[in-house]
Chain A
Amino acid sequence: MNWISRRGLGLSVALVLLALIVRPAQAQTKTTTALHERYSEALSLYFYKNTLRMMNQTENKEFDEIIEDIEKMKFLMIDKTKDTFESSDYQELTAGYKEESYEEIMTSRYEGKKFDIYLREKSGETKGMVVLANDSSSLYVLDILGKVELSKVTKLFTTIDNSAEIGKMIKAFTDDGDRRGRGSRHEN
């Protein structure tokens, strides 16, 4: 192998590595990335198809169907008792998704909790979904690359919420905030 081909090979490897690094970064919306950068202490969890499968401890067939078309998912939780997040910030956030060609397909408000779903399509195919759950104490963002059957979005949320491991992480995250005395947390 001569020097040029070695350099070529090195370049190719570098490009492949770069592609592997860059691809997941591109998978997430710019709006969620910017939100995470602003609230860097927020709890963030990344899931790939395999990690989602691992969550399915009971080998629930329905859950397997829910995650079937998810390529990657990011879960972000902002504790509003620790960080300031005004309603104008929420409006700014939703405007950001709209700018990224996400369409608002459902909005709801019940007992002070907002639950909104955004969808991005390309050539008639769902490419991404963003689910936001917002109340006075927390903001949850579920940024999905791929799709989830709409009737099963709440089931996905419940599974994440009920996952023992994730539950521990959320508890540790909120307890940490309490220890630092940045405010008390109100459970919903």
Chain B
Amino acid sequence: MKKVLVLVMWTVCVAGAYAQGEAVSKFFNKYQSDETFSQVTVSSKMFSLFTDMEMEDKEDQEVLEAISKLKGLKILAKDEARNSRELYKEATAALPAKEYEELMYVRDKDKDMKFYIRDDKGMINELVMISGGDSEFMLLTLYGEIDLKTISKIGRKMDVKGLENLEKMKDSKRN
């Protein structure tokens, strides 16, 4: 009985660790029903289905393995948004600094982009990307067991714009 209780507690803890953070969740809930926003939600089941695929290429196989460890993806975006800068500020301010660590900041001509991670005992379990420009806003959260080395490749394969910027982190380390 005690063993069962321990197992249940462990399962609850692990599931909690891999869940989307509360702050991000609140932001999504606030704008989810607003039809002017585009949104995408992908469940862990969908990610697990990709693991059934067989890849000949070694890089593709690595990406598939990394994908299989993901528990979810959510995207909230708005094009032609007059308030994109305000949304960007609101989203970045919503993330508690003690929970989310700023990983990278990209300043482009027409937009700003920030990457945050949330970890637990050295394991990254959430990656948040927030971008805001003159007329575009996007908030992306990827949660589960995250390997930063492969995340830019996942972004490329899944055609998620912005994640390729994580390559820059590797390049800056090299310099």
Chain A residues within 8 Å of B, Cβ to Cβ: 103-112, 117, 119, 126, 149-151
Query: Which of B44-52, B98-106, B120-128 sits within the interface?
Result: B44-52
Question: Which of B39, B42, B46, B50 touches A109 (beta carbons < 8 Å)?
Answer: B39
B38 at the interface (CB under 8 A from A): yes
Interface centre among A104, A109, A110 (most CB of B within 10 A): A109
* Dominant SS among interface residues on chain A: strand
The 5 tightest CB contacts between A and B, nearest first, are A105-B46, A108-B40, A110-B38, A107-B41, A105-B45
Asked if residues A103 and B50 are in contact (CB atoms below 8 Å), the reply is no
Asked if residues A150 and B50 are in contact (CB atoms below 8 Å), the reply is yes
A-B contact sample (16 more), CB < 8 A, given A105-B43, A107-B41, A117-B46: A103-B45, A104-B43, A106-B42, A106-B43, A108-B38, A108-B40, A109-B35, A109-B39, A109-B40, A110-B38, A112-B35, A126-B49, A150-B46, A150-B50, A151-B50, A151-B53
Asked if residues B49 and A150 are in contact (CB atoms below 8 Å), the reply is yes
Chain B residues within 8 Å of A, Cβ to Cβ: 35, 37-43, 45-46, 49-50, 53
Asked if residues B46 and A149 are in contact (CB atoms below 8 Å), the reply is no
A147 and B53 alpha carbons, distance in the complex (Å):
13
A112 and B37 alpha carbons, distance in the complex (Å):
9
Give the number of A-B contacts (CB < 8 Å).
39
Asked if residues A106 and B41 are in contact (CB atoms below 8 Å), the reply is yes
B42 contacts which chain A residues (CB < 8 A)? Answer: 105-106
8 contacts between A and B (CB under 8 A): A103-B43, A107-B39, A107-B40, A108-B39, A117-B46, A126-B49, A149-B53, A151-B50
A111 and B79 alpha carbons, distance in the complex (Å):
9
A50 and B19 alpha carbons, distance in the complex (Å):
43
A126 and B37 alpha carbons, distance in the complex (Å):
32
B38 contacts which chain A residues (CB < 8 A)? Answer: 108-111
A107 contacts which chain B residues (CB < 8 A)? Answer: 39-41
B39 contacts which chain A residues (CB < 8 A)? Answer: 107-109
Residue of A nearest to B158 (CB): A151
Question: Which of A106, A110, A112 touches B46 (beta carbons < 8 Å)?
Answer: A106
A105 and B40 alpha carbons, distance in the complex (Å):
11
Residue of A nearest to B38 (CB): A110
A109 and B37 alpha carbons, distance in the complex (Å):
8
Q: For the complex formed, measure the closest distance between the CB of B142 and the CB atoms of chain A, giving whole angstroms.
A: 14
Residue of A nearest to B157 (CB): A151
A151 and B43 alpha carbons, distance in the complex (Å):
14
A151 and B53 alpha carbons, distance in the complex (Å):
10
